[in-house]
Amino acid sequence: MPYRVLVADDDRAIRESLGRALELEGYAVVGAGDGVEALATARRDRFDALVLDVMMPSVDGLGVCRVLRADGDGTPILMLTARVETADRVAGLDAGADDYLPKPFELDELLARLRALLRRAAPDAPGRRLLLDRLTVDPGARRVWWLDTELVLSKTEFDLLELLVRNAGIVLDRATIYQRIWGYEFGPDSKNLAVYIGYLRRKLEDAGAAGLIHTVRGVGYTARSG
């Protein structure tokens, strides 16, 4: 069965051309012309991924993303944006998007990012749980606990924590983490990784698990107890 993708963009030419390109790649595509339609469609039907333009009338892409995440909908979201400032990209991540792509974009890059999102969202085969201090990570169920407290993590947050815990005690450089989590490198000035590390640290600290993720200046990050 083909992956189902919702493409929401108020520019009809972009929406239809992107839809045709995705269909040629084997995806089943549904289009939406604004945020209200996108939100109603995403709530009514099941999709494997959403491609949302940030600047849409009525409800923008960020608003759609926030509402869906508040509903508990974890469908992977790729945000398209003409805004290239770091603050605007961080706003997309804060809204719950899994990735963003500045306009104008190359189709090959969009397809690669979409494939990466779908790979990361695929359920893992049942396997053993990962342990670090009193932290338990269940890759099969995609759940995390500190003692008896379960952490609520987004897909990207879980993927990042699982990667660090699987490699506990090993310093992972930023390029490796970007490649493993996002499927490509963002460049030396990207703040994506730092933003998600910050999210994880806050959620771990709120559960009582402070100090598990360590920054190795100039290199990357590692997970270790103490």
Q: Mind spelling out the 3-state secondary structure of 58-71?
A: CCCHHHHHHHHHHC
Q: Are residue 116 and residue 135 in the same domain, yes or no? A: no
Query: Which of these, 65, 51, 48, lies nearest to 11 by C-alpha position?
Result: 51
**What pLDDT is stored for residue 84 in this prediction?**
62
Residue at a domain's end among 94, 121, 148: 121
Least confident of 8-17, 108-117, 211-220: 108-117
Domain that includes residue 146, residue range:
130-223
Amino acid at 19: G
Least confident of 22-26, 73-77, 92-96, 119-123: 119-123
Question: Do the beta carbons of residue 161 and residue 196 sit within 8 Å?
Answer: no
Tell me the C-alpha distance between 32 and 177, whole Å. Answer: 33
Q: Are residue 49 and residue 157 in the same domain, yes or no? A: no
Tell me: the pLDDT tens digits for 92-111? 777 888 888 888 888 988 99
| pLDDT at 185 exceeding the cut of 70 | no
Q: Are residue 80 and residue 115 in the same domain, yes or no? A: yes
| pLDDT at 140 exceeding the cut of 70 | yes
Residue at a domain's end among 121, 146, 166: 121
Q: How many domains does the chain have?
A: 2
**What pLDDT is stored for residue 181 in this prediction?**
86
Distances in Å between the alpha carbon of 149 and those of 131, 143, 145, 153, 161? 14, 11, 5, 13, 16
Q: Are residue 87 and residue 174 in the same domain, yes or no? A: no
Q: Are residue 82 and residue 14 in the same domain, yes or no? A: yes
**What pLDDT is stored for residue 109 in this prediction?**
87
Q: Are residue 108 and residue 193 in the same domain, yes or no? A: no
What is the distance in angstroms between the CA of the first residue and the CA of the last residue of the chain?
47
| pLDDT at 186 exceeding the cut of 70 | no
Least confident of 89-93, 137-141, 155-159: 89-93
The enclosing domain of 10 has a CATH number of 3.40.50.2300
Neighbour count for residue 29 (Cβ, 10 Å): 21
Residue at a domain's end among 121, 147, 163: 121
